[in-house]
Structure 1
Amino acid sequence: MKVSQKDTEKFVWDHMRNTPGTPMSVTQSQTRALPKLLVWLIVFVTATYIVYTLKLVINSPSCDDEIFPAISHTSISLHTSKDGNFSSLPENQDLFRETEVKDIVFGIAASAKLWGKRKNYIKLWWKPGKMRGIVWLDNAVKSKEEEGLPPLRISGNTSRFAYKNRQGHRSAIRISRIVSETLRLGMENVRWFVMGDDDTVFVTENLVRILNKYDHNQYYYIGSLSESHLQNIFFSYGMAYGGGGFAISYPLAKALEKMQDKCIQRYPGLYGSDDRMQACMAELGVPLTKETGFHQYDVYGNLFGLLAAHPVTPLVSLHHLDVVEPIFPNVTRVEALKRLTIPMKLDSAGLIQQSICYEKKKTWTISVSWGFAIQILRGVLSPREIEMPSRTFLNWYRRADYTAYAFNTRPVARNPCQRPFVFYLSRARFDSITNQTVTVYDRHRVPHPACKWNLTSPAEIDRIVVYKKPDPHLWDRSPRRNCCRILESKKKSMVLDVGVCREGEITEI
């Protein structure tokens, strides 16, 4: 009798089902035990995770110390608001406010020989009781400390330092240590140290605006270059010029003070104080943060071209005031600068900011340097040309060489028809009714050569009045020139409105 393959398979399967202890029975038993095993596995993994996490939290450093080192020691407390809710605020709110002038300490390099004259520059911008700083002299002066000036101190002895530059003077070592010597006085709540010379005038409101862009808890070395291309080549394009002023954050000043004396010893051949300072900054690995509102003014002659086309940035400082001519004609240098302080108090943010507009009927180009001067030129010059300073000055080597500057310039016009008619600021006030500043500019009466162009002469204008609303938040926005608009006026006068450009407004030729 034949047994088929199907019958054989059926017999085997039936036997396996009915026989205890077979592999099938084992499989069914494992299937029933599997859920219990999974539960125990989940419990084990969860317990291991919890233990590991607790151990990590206990042994790890404080979050405040790692992520927020600047405020790691600030205690937090609960404050009750007017509506009864609680809010978590730091007890020391001073850390979170904006920088003010009281947070800045000035170190002013001065010479006893020139102090009697140059102290008058400092009186123009120094605010007793509101500012902190020291004038560091090389020798004692006969006059005692005066009201309206910072305290006077004598710099420390530097005879132990080598100085091997034959063209310079070893006073450079003394001046380079002013920031460190000022820090050692132990003044409290300092955010920035600002260096300047005794012939430097600061616009302190704009200085504060610049410094508020940067975190004073970090390493910052802020300043600007020389106007002289050759000076920058000889010294460094990465160096802040101390006459124009520079700012060093408090943490950087502390780091500098620890290593500066040893650093100075390594550079006996350098010329001045500025390059010594920059050499130490290079060793600390801190580059120059450039702000073009600090002005060294390594030039000779008339600053008119530079001031009438100031870059679109806040005016922070003016230097070498004994070298250049007075910025207003027919007055002394100090009297000229004193006149500039009037619009400075009305609207420091807009001081010497350029605006450009066109009198299309008469084909005139008008350039306004608010608070300083206005130019009217026959014909049409593009904004690209007008925003370049005209070369009314000589370079640091007393040459009229346009390749000597670290920026673009344009030549003074030779065509008699293109000579500008200049109107200088004569007075300024604030109109509380219209909430506007009113600045008046009178024509500078100098002979003008005859012009053969068939155009109306700007000589028919005697006075220009400019209306402008103060704009303290001008530099909180992206940099842009203000716009200029011509308003109706009487004969022999012109009225302009200067302010933030309206939507779609451009300076069209």
Structure 2
Amino acid sequence: MEIVDPSEQYHHRYDTELKHLAFGIAASSNLWGTRKEYIKAWWRPNETRGVVWVDKRVKSYRNENLPPIRVSQDTSRFKYTNTQGSRSALRITRVVSETLKLGMKDVRWFVMRDDDTVFIVNNVVRVLSKYDHTQFYYVGSASESHIQNIFFSYSMAYGGGGFAISYPLAEELSKMQDKCIQRYPGLYGSDDRIQACMAELGVPLTRELGFHQYDVYGDLLGLLGAHPVTPLVSLHHLDVVEPIFPGMKRAKAIKHLLEAAEQDSASLMQQSICYDPKRYWSISVSWGYVVQILRGVMSPRELEMPSRTFLNWYKRADYTAYAFNTRPVERHPCQTSFIFYMGKVKFDRTRRQTIGVYFRRKSKSSRCRWRMASPEKLDSVVILKKRDDQRWQKVQ
């Protein structure tokens, strides 16, 4: 076995395409009626390949935009001693191996996820194209909650956010996984069992920040409005957080976001920071999602930190319990953000650029005594940009 240091091949890209990916989706029959709507939002018939694995048969209808649905194998022979968890973790742990055994042709990567996770599939391909699929790779990311990472592991790819395993590694995992599962009856979930097996195989986690577990509650505005400079790959816990676009149901809000992804998936959620020197405004653009305008000049170092519009997974924990830097939500009446959510995005063939219109979220604002122009007078913001499918190749 040869483990390649990602830094040694960071500049190289492989010819991986969407057809080379097999998605394994762990689903619950009890929640299927709601969760399948998230899958419909991102699944592409005749383009994406994969299987939904459920604990027992669920109702299916013709012409639904869904992958094939299969019932997982029985796992009653495995020990499970964690008093706080659920035996379903054993079933979900084996999704990788069961998907492998289906014998799909020309698969390079197995991409695992939960049924309440949405993928930006083009960005999954962009990220995995950085790595040699003939080597052993285990790609994903950790939790946003420092406490979660302490309880489980900073070396673990969280299953809700999704993770990818290269084909040769999936083959090795399949050979030893059942025995590996038996050695860890006290673990809580499926993802920590996968990581335990990865540790036995000697394969470390390759972290990609675009996989999002989102172990948080509340409004994702602060996180998504200051997304790290990396392709947005996944969004998890959509049933827990508020709809990403206010006033919409959760599934509809996701479909609305994916309308922007259809126009320029490489740029989705990528933050740009600029200033209006005449009005003394600071402007943060999260493309395809939101524009935020603040009075005064705030440094890029501050604007790239997520504002705490959300709460920790552990409700007693304060802001020091995140695994990243944050900044408080501004309370001063003159420093609150004016928020413009994406209304529509289209591609102008004549100009060869995307045109995005962002509409202000109307809310009561306290009177500001500063003698300067107010963004409150704006109803919408128009963002023009050139589409660039190769932006991540150029950066690297």
TM over 0.5: yes
What is the letter of the counterpart of residue 331 of structure 2?
Answer: R
Q: How many pairs were matched up?
A: 384
Secondary structure, counterpart of 2:29 in structure 1: coil
Structure 1 Cα separation of the partners of residues 62 and 241 of structure 2? 28
Question: Residues 399 and 435 from structure 1, CA distance in 2 versus in 1: closer, same or farther, beyond 3 angstroms?
Answer: farther
Task: Note the alpha carbon deviations across 1:326-373, whole angstroms, 9 max, x for none.
Answer: 001111111111111111011000001100111111111000011100
Q: Which residue of 2 aligns with 1:277?
A: 194
Structure 2 Cα separation of the partners of residues 146 and 222 of structure 1? 33
Q: Which residue of 2 aligns with 1:178?
A: 95
Structure 2 Cα separation of the partners of residues 297 and 473 of structure 1? 27
CA contact (8 A) 1:145 1:152 kept: no
Q: Percent identity?
A: 66
Q: Which residue of 2 aligns with 1:474?
A: 391
Higher relative contact order (CA 8 A, sep 6+): 2
Q: Which residue of 2 aligns with 1:199?
A: 116
Structure 1 residue 127 and structure 2 residue 39: aligned?
no
CA contact (8 A) 2:14 2:129 kept: no
Structure 2 unpaired stretches of 5+: 1-12
**1:394 Cα deviation from its structure 2 partner:** 0.3
Q: Which of 134, 144, 158 is residue 75 of structure 2 equivalent to?
A: 158
Structure 1 residue 331 and structure 2 residue 248: aligned?
yes
Structure 1 residue 411 and structure 2 residue 316: aligned?
no
CA contact (8 A) 1:393 1:400 kept: no
CA contact (8 A) 1:108 1:196 kept: yes
Q: Which of 291, 301, 318 is residue 384 of structure 1 equivalent to?
A: 301
Which has the higher Rg, Structure 1 or Structure 2?
Answer: 1
Q: Which residue of 2 aligns with 1:420?
A: 337
What is the letter of the counterpart of residue 471 of structure 1?
Answer: D
Task: Note the alpha carbon deviations across 1:356-391, whole angstroms, 9 max, x for none.
Answer: 111111111000011100011011100000000000
Structure 1 residue 459 and structure 2 residue 379: aligned?
no
**1:399 Cα deviation from its structure 2 partner:** 4.4
CA contact (8 A) 2:51 2:70 kept: yes
Greater helix percent: which structure?
1
Task: Note the alpha carbon deviations across 1:109-142, whole angstroms, 9 max, x for none.
Answer: 0000000111010011100111110000011113
Q: Which residue of 2 aligns with 1:243?
A: 160
Structure 2 Cα separation of the partners of residues 185 and 357 of structure 1? 50
Instruction: Write the mapping of 1:162-311 to structure 2, written as runs, cut at 5 A.
Output: 162-311=79-228
Secondary structure, counterpart of 2:78 in structure 1: coil
Q: Which residue of 1 aligns with 2:314?
A: 397
Structure 1 Cα separation of the partners of residues 368 and 378 of structure 2? 16
Structure 1 unpaired stretches of 5+: 1-95, 480-509
Structure 2 Cα separation of the partners of residues 193 and 142 of structure 1? 26
Secondary structure, counterpart of 2:30 in structure 1: coil
Structure 1 Cα separation of the partners of residues 19 and 209 of structure 2? 23
Structure 1 Cα separation of the partners of residues 189 and 82 of structure 2? 9
Q: Which residue of 2 aligns with 1:364?
A: 281
Q: Which residue of 1 aligns with 2:5?
A: none
Structure 2 Cα separation of the partners of residues 271 and 260 of structure 1? 16
Q: Compare 135-144 and 291-300 and name the one that shifted more.
A: 135-144
What is the letter of the counterpart of residue 265 of structure 1?
Answer: Q
Structure 2 Cα separation of the partners of residues 254 and 209 of structure 1? 23
